DNA sequence: CGACAGATTGAGAACCGTCAACTAATGTGG
DNA sequence: CCACATTAGTTGACGGTTCTCAATCTGTCG
């Protein structure tokens, strides 16, 4: 993919890469740092659609559409690879393999979004929280950012609240109730009892994820 | 795409095309009829992830993965085009254009799932219902199934409840409160006052959708 | 007619949101 | 160095939305 690269981008925690409604001519992959894809509602509501971790593809959807339907914000300082949207057709012509892998990426993304929809629709606050923390921890350890069940997670409670569709207050109280099984302090997420968490989240503890690299 | 077709499939309303966990070797496009993609939870919960209308692509994600992460059920009798998963690599090699359009389809799908997540996370029952009915009506009229604001919609209240993450009872009561603006009787959905509905749903009435055909 | 699926309605309880107050940590300016 | 402001997290009280349970009603089909 190197020959299609349009360079690197750095953004600081709190900054946004692009906004909803923007015309976006690039897409990205995350190399370092964490962020989130966010949708804003007319009434001021804010939904965090997914977290962005190293290795993730960012903004493919935004680049293909006329305008972005979601914003991307950095939770920590991030380093990104930048690609020209205009190079996509050429890429598709030159390498069927890579084109295939883009579809693969999109399919995996779709899988995760579906699981999120099931969670927001069917699980209560406790289950949502346990589910999210499990998933986050699994993703982070899959990219090698986790040691001893402790992973960097530079978000605020407000972010998690907006991801789970809960109020900030209730998010806080739910976290408190899960404290026997999880700690989250100063940007570090520590899973103390993964089995108990999986249980609460109604997740199969030994289900291996399917998220291959590009 | 004709040369990759593996034939047509018919299924009856209520039947399921494939189940979660199945190994799926085909993907499909819907020609006639309506259905839904569904995720089942360990506790018996059921989340309807998206509705399937004529023209929609079905099971691309399931075909690419080792096993399907969602089921597909028909709400009415359906006619589907069937494609061999195994033909995908050949398709990618032979036609960059078509490969590109698959990514496009996936991106559009991702867009819709993101909007659904925002709805489940941020909107209350009334807003969800209005949102769903608006969207459904828009999709159906975009494929020419709608006349005079009336469209065929062969689902049950239970399906809509599971799509919106609401209980059946509350779904019913919410529908009752929206009755001045929408009717849904005997499988026909009629939007009486689209502007009022959009208002309730916090949707921009004149936002043109972006869902081109293959 | 009885059986059944789907829709409808009411009553009570549980969950979650809002409001408000308070703590702790950090930074800034005088 | 201290006063003050700001941000993030925490906790309690109260009220509203939504869920569950249960009963009733309707139309269809045998």
Q: Which residues of B, range 36-55, sit inside 8 Å of A by Cβ?
A: 37, 39, 41-43, 45-47, 49
> Does residue B101 sit in the same domain as residue B138?
no
Contact by Cβ (8 Å): B86, A86: no
Sequence-distant (≥ 6) Cβ neighbours of residue A19 within 8 angstroms: A68, A71
What pLDDT is recorded for position A127? 98
Amino acid B74: pLDDT: 97
Distance CA A118 to C1' C19 in A = 31
Query: In which domain, by residue range, is A168 found?
Result: 123-201
Residue B81, in any domain of the structure: yes
Question: Each residue of B3-53: pLDDT tens digit?
Answer: 678 899 999 999 999 999 999 999 999 999 999 999 999 999 999 999 999
Are residue A93 and residue A47 in the same domain, yes or no?
A: yes
B61 touches chain A (CB under 8 A): yes
A88 and A128 share one domain: no
Residue B95 and residue B128 in one domain: no
Low-confidence ranges of chain A (pLDDT < 70): 1-3, 208-214
User: Is residue A69 in some structural domain?
Assistant: yes
Q: What is the pLDDT of residue A204?
A: 86
- The answer as to whether A144 is a domain residue is yes
Q: Please report, rounded to whole angstroms, the spatial distance between the CA atom of protein residue A38 and the C1' atom of nucleotide C29.
A: 36
CB B121 within 8 A of CB A164: yes
Please report whether residue B51 resides in a domain.
Answer: yes
CATH at B40: 2.60.120.10
Q: How many domains does chain B have?
A: 2
Of A79, A97, A115, the domain-final residue: A97
Residue A26 near residue A63, CB atoms below 8 Å: yes
B92-121, pLDDT tens digit by residue? 888 888 888 889 999 999 999 999 999 999
Residue B188 approaches strand C within 7 Å at CB: no
Q: In this complex, which of B69, B70, B165 lies closest to A121 when CB atoms are compared?
A: B165
Residue ranges near strand D (C-beta within 7 Å): A 156-158, 168-169, 172-173, 175-176; B 124-126, 165-167, 169-170, 174
pLDDT at B212: 56
**B133, B197 contact by CB (below 8 A):** yes
Question: Do A41 and A90 share a structural domain?
Answer: yes
Residues A70 and A129 in one domain: no
Q: What is the pLDDT of residues B113-162, one digit of tens each?
A: 999 999 999 999 999 999 999 999 999 999 999 999 999 999 999 999 99
Beta bridge partners of B58: B28
Beta bridge partners of A5: A83
Of the candidates A50, A36, A45, the one whose C-alpha atom is nearest the C-alpha of residue A114 is A50
Q: Which of B92, B118, B204 sits opposite A99 (nearest CB)?
A: B92
Does B213 have pLDDT greater than 50?
A: no
pLDDT tens-digit series, residues A74-91: 999 999 999 999 988 888
- Say if B70 falls within a structural domain: yes
Region B162-188: what's the mean pLDDT? 97
Please give the pLDDT value at position A213. 45
The secondary structure of A13-48, three-state, reads CCCEEECCCCCCCEEEEEEECCEEEEEECCCCCEEE
């Amino acid at each position: 993919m190197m020959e299609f690269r349009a360079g690197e981008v750095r953004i600081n925690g709190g900054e946004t890469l692009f906004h909803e409604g923007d015309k976006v001519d690039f897409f990205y992959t995350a190399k370092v740092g964490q962020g989130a894809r966010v949708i804003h509602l007319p009434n001021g509501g804010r939904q965090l659609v997914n977290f962005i971790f190293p290795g993730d593809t960012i903004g493919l959807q935004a680049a293909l559409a006329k305008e972005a339907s979601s914003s991307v914000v950095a939770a920590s300082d991030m380093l990104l690879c930048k690609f020209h949207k205009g190079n996509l057709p050429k890429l598709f012509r030159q390498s069927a393999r890579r084109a295939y892998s883009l579809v693969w990426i999109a399919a995996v993304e779709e899988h995760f979004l579906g699981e999120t929809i099931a969670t927001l629709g069917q699980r209560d606050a406790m289950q949502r929280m346990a589910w999210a923390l499990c998933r986050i921890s699994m993703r982070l350890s899959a990219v090698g950012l986790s040691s001893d069940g402790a992973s960097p997670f530079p978000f605020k409670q407000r972010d998690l609240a907006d991801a789970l569709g809960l109020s900030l207050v209730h998010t806080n109280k739910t976290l408190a109730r899960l404290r026997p099984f999880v700690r989250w302090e100063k940007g570090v997420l520590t899973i103390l009892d993964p089995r108990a968490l999986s249980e609460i989240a109604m997740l199969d503890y030994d289900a291996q994820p399917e998220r291959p690299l590009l």
